[in-house]
Amino acid sequence: MFNAKVKSEVLKGIIDVVSPLVNEVKFNITPKGISLRAVDPAHVAMVDLEIKSDAFDEYKATNMELGIDMDKFASIIRLSTSNDMVNLEYDEDTNRLIIKIGNLVRKMGLIDTTGMPDPKMPNLNLPAKVVLKASELTQGVRASETVSDHLALTVNKDDFELFAEGDTDTVNLKLPKDLLLELDTNSKCKSLFSIDYFSNMIKPVRGDDPITIMIGNDNPIRVEFNIAENKGHVTYLLAPRIESE
């Protein structure tokens, strides 16, 4: 059984987090909420998402799995405005998800979850942690997108730095410790990442909401933030690009 009522903006938040990485996902439904974990087809990035049941206005569920085509789901949810209420109901007889937005009813066929993997979250010991406002980070990433296809992130005990270099132009964003919400490292850490992936990971975070970044030297980066008015949590992992000598 799965029957829920929720503001459209919560579902749009889920779509914004998941869609840039994967199209077909397995939603793990429990009485406590919804979770999913998926790796992108190139095996460069992973997303781990949890939404608590109290993020919904109404929520009744038993343990089950729903295979969702995110493109199809997004096309339906984007017919709503952010304040619209959306009703979700699983029809066991037809194996379809019934989505109601106002007077509109869409019955969406689900994907067989049998062959879908259950990726494990690697236990990474990343030595540096930075917490900063999304707006600060977004500005630097947007500036970098027109210059290069990758960016370097550096953390030391005094500041956090983003650097991108193209054929003719460079972008540099340096935030001293007093402009950061948190900075914790015992050594200088630096890694290089794809701008496309990194940009998609931070886009769902708005304004001054905090983003947590954990980083090492040429290690995957861990990016974390809350959604759904802090009733949902997102963790991304992104593999580094290794600089050739």
- Helices in 56-194 by DSSP H: which ranges? 70-77, 134-145
User: Helix, strand, coil shares of the chain as percentages rounded to 5?
Assistant: 20, 45, 35
- For residues 51 and 100, membership in a common domain is answered with yes
CATH number, position 75:
3.10.150.10
pLDDT of residue 243: 63
pLDDT at residue 245 tops 50: no
- For residues 87 and 139, membership in a common domain is answered with no
Q: What is the pLDDT of residues 91-116, one digit of tens each?
A: 999 999 999 999 999 999 999 999 89
- For residues 103 and 134, membership in a common domain is answered with no
- For residues 101 and 154, membership in a common domain is answered with no
Q: What is the pLDDT of residues 25-80, one digit of tens each?
A: 999 999 999 999 999 999 999 999 999 999 999 999 999 999 999 999 999 999 99
Within a domain: 122: no
Distance, in Å, from the CA atom of 41 to the CA atom of 48, rounded to the nearest integer, reads 15
pLDDT of residue 83: 86
CATH number, position 172:
3.70.10.10
Number of Cβ within a 10 Å radius of residue 151: 25
- For residues 40 and 138, membership in a common domain is answered with no
Within a domain: 22: yes
- For residues 132 and 230, membership in a common domain is answered with yes
- For residues 105 and 141, membership in a common domain is answered with no
Average pLDDT, the chain: 95
pLDDT-derived band of residue 236, with 50, 70 and 90 as boundaries? Answer: very high
Distance, in Å, from the CA atom of 237 to the CA atom of 220, rounded to the nearest integer, reads 6
- For residues 232 and 162, membership in a common domain is answered with yes
**Enclosing domain of residue 147:** 128-238
- For residues 8 and 98, membership in a common domain is answered with yes
> What is the number of domains present in the chain?
2
Q: Are 201 and 195 in contact (CB under 8 A)?
A: no
Q: Among 60, 82, 109, identify where a domain stops.
A: 109
- For residues 28 and 95, membership in a common domain is answered with yes
User: For the whole model, what pTM was predicted?
Assistant: 0.94
